[in-house]
């Protein structure tokens, strides 16, 4: 374990930077899709949407052709950013309190945070992995993992209707997201 | 004579009965006499609320192993669950483990959902992508006390310097 403390600080700095930047951008936008589009390039620098998509789709991922994998990643990225930015009102500043990070073995870390937003307190854990640089690979909000939530749904769809069902559902969800 | 034979028969019957009880106790208890080929895996949870030694490990509703023990990691106060998984089940490295309840208030079990990674979990490796037990009570208390309505100025209680309001 080379300098674990340093690596931990690195991951936390990445997360803090990304959050601050995202909140700043979100606060200067109109909300809705415009905000989601503005946030995407920022988030893509600190979130591994590729890993998230692969894991959210689960075992079915291997049946996807490379082109389908790419398209699924694009759609899933849009879906996550849209559905989360939808919960954010421009002007409302979340207060984030970073708690002590927990190492999960080489190149893996969990950063628990509490977030105070609009008067409610939420516990949110960010799971990060070192893939050349630290990237967020999962978000656990109030004990519920984003990846697990989507995996349960996509896996069910995949078993019923294969790749096509998953792609169709992704397209529909992106179109339906505000 | 005849009496001796009868006594012998009764004794044998009682012994057979006892043996059956012992067999059932072990079978229904923690597991089987002859364990199938298994390999150990660990999973780290923030909260195992209600999981026990002997709880089942399921994948897609099929029992593929059981919980061998639960211990506390003294460093960060998380719970480490030791499991044994049937050898023929190879799990991808990004497998997730969640603690689920059968029914609304039923037994707790570990549910695994396999991912898409090419590499597989080797014996004694640790699953880090986990979901802890969701406690009904804490959800209820959140409903009861949780939300202060909008309009109230957000205040961070007990935030020591690490609070990070956006610029």
The residue with greater pLDDT, A121 or B36, is A121
Question: Looking up tokens 């079990």, which residue turns up?
Answer: B109
CA distance B22 to chain A (A): 41
Q: Which of B73, B80, B129 to mutate to test the interface with A (most CBs of A within 10 A)?
A: B129
State which residue of chain A sits closest to B98, comparing Cα positions.
A148
- Please give the residue range of the domain that contains residue A100: 4-176
From CA A45, how far away is CA B100, in angstroms rounded? 34
CATH of residue A109's domain is 3.10.450.710
Residue B85 has what pLDDT? 92
Judgement on whether residues B46 and B61 belong to the same structural domain of the protein: yes
Name which of A10-24, B45-59, B129-143 the model is least confident about.
B129-143
Secondary structure (3-state) at A49? helix
Report the percentage of chain B scoring pLDDT > 90: 28
Judgement on whether residues B49 and B29 belong to the same structural domain of the protein: no
Q: Give pLDDT tens digits for A60-82.
A: 898 899 999 999 999 999 988 88
Residue B25 has what pLDDT? 83
Residue B83 has what pLDDT? 93
Q: Which of A25, A42, A56, A97 to mutate to test the interface with B (most CBs of B within 10 A)?
A: A97
Residue B165 has what pLDDT? 42
CA distance A115 to chain B (A): 9
CB contact under 8 A, B128 and A108: yes
Residue B161 has what pLDDT? 39
The residue with greater pLDDT, B34 or A94, is A94
CA distance A174 to chain B (A): 23
CA distance B151 to chain A (A): 8
CB contact under 8 A, B164 and A95: yes
Total number of domains in chain A: 1
Which two structure tokens, joined as six digits, stand for A11? Answer: 């991951």
Residue A95 has what pLDDT? 87
Find all residues with CB under 8 Å of A100, minimum gap 6, and list them: A112
Please report the residues numbered 14 through 33 in chain B whose beta carbons come closer than 8 angstroms to any beta carbon of chain A: none
Report the percentage of chain A scoring pLDDT > 70: 95
Total number of domains in chain B: 2
Report the percentage of chain A scoring pLDDT > 90: 17
State which residue of chain B sits closest to A149, comparing Cα positions.
B131
Secondary structure (3-state) at B115? coil
Q: Is the pLDDT of residue B57 over 50?
A: yes
CB contact under 8 A, B162 and A97: yes
Q: Would B100 be classed as within a structural domain? A: yes
Contacts of A140 in chain B (CB under 8 A): 131
Secondary structure (3-state) at A43? helix
CB contact under 8 A, B115 and A58: yes
CB contact under 8 A, B132 and A143: yes
Residue A11 has what pLDDT? 85
- Mean per-residue pLDDT for B109-115? 91
Q: Give pLDDT tens digits for A14-63.
A: 888 888 888 888 887 776 777 888 888 888 888 999 999 999 998 889 88
CA distance B63 to chain A (A): 18
- CA atoms lying within 13 Å on the CB side of residue B104: 1
- Give B10's pLDDT tier (boundaries 50, 70, 90): very high
- Mean per-residue pLDDT for B2-11? 87
Q: Is the pLDDT of residue B135 over 80?
A: no
Q: Would B83 be classed as within a structural domain? A: yes
- Please give the residue range of the domain that contains residue B5: 1-33
CB-based contact B18:B25 (threshold 8 Å): no
Q: Give pLDDT tens digits for A131-152.
A: 888 999 999 888 888 888 888 8
């Amino acid at each position: 374990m080379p300098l674990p403390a340093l690596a931990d600080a690195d991951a936390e700095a990445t997360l803090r930077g990304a959050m601050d930047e995202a909140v700043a951008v979100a606060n200067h936008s109109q909300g809705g899709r415009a905000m989601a589009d503005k946030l995407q390039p920022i988030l893509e620098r600190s979130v591994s949407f590729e890993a998230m998509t692969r894991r959210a789709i689960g075992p079915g991922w291997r049946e996807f052709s490379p082109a389908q994998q790419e398209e699924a990643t694009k759609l899933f990225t849009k879906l996550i950013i849209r559905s989360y930015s939808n919960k954010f009102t421009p002007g409302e500043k979340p207060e984030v309190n970073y708690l002590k990070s927990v190492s999960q073995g080489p190149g893996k870390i969990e950063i628990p945070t509490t977030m105070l937003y609009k008067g409610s307190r939420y516990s949110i854990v960010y799971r990060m992995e070192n893939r050349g640089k630290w990237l967020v690979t999962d978000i656990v909000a109030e004990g519920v993992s984003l990846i697990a939530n989507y995996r349960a749904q996509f896996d069910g769809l995949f078993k019923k209707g294969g790749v096509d069902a998953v792609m169709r559902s992704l397209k529909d969800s992106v179109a339906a997201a505000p | 004579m005849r009496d001796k034979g009868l006594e012998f028969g009764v004794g044998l019957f009682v012994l057979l009965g006892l043996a059956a009880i012992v067999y059932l106790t072990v079978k229904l208890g923690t597991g089987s006499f002859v364990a199938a080929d298994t390999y150990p895996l660990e999973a780290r949870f923030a909260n195992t609320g209600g999981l026990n030694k002997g709880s089942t490990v399921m994948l897609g509703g099929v029992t593929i192993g059981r919980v061998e023990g639960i211990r506390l990691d003294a460093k960060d106060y998380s719970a480490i669950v030791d499991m044994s998984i049937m050898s023929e089940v190879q799990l991808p490295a990004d497998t997730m483990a969640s603690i689920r309840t059968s029914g609304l208030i039923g037994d707790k079990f570990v549910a695994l959902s396999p991912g898409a990674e090419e590499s597989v979990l080797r014996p004694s490796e640790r699953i880090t992508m986990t979901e802890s037990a969701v406690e009904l009570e804490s959800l209820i208390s959140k409903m009861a006390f949780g939300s202060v309505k909008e309009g109230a100025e957000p205040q961070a209680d007990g935030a020591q310097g690490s609070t990070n309001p956006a610029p």
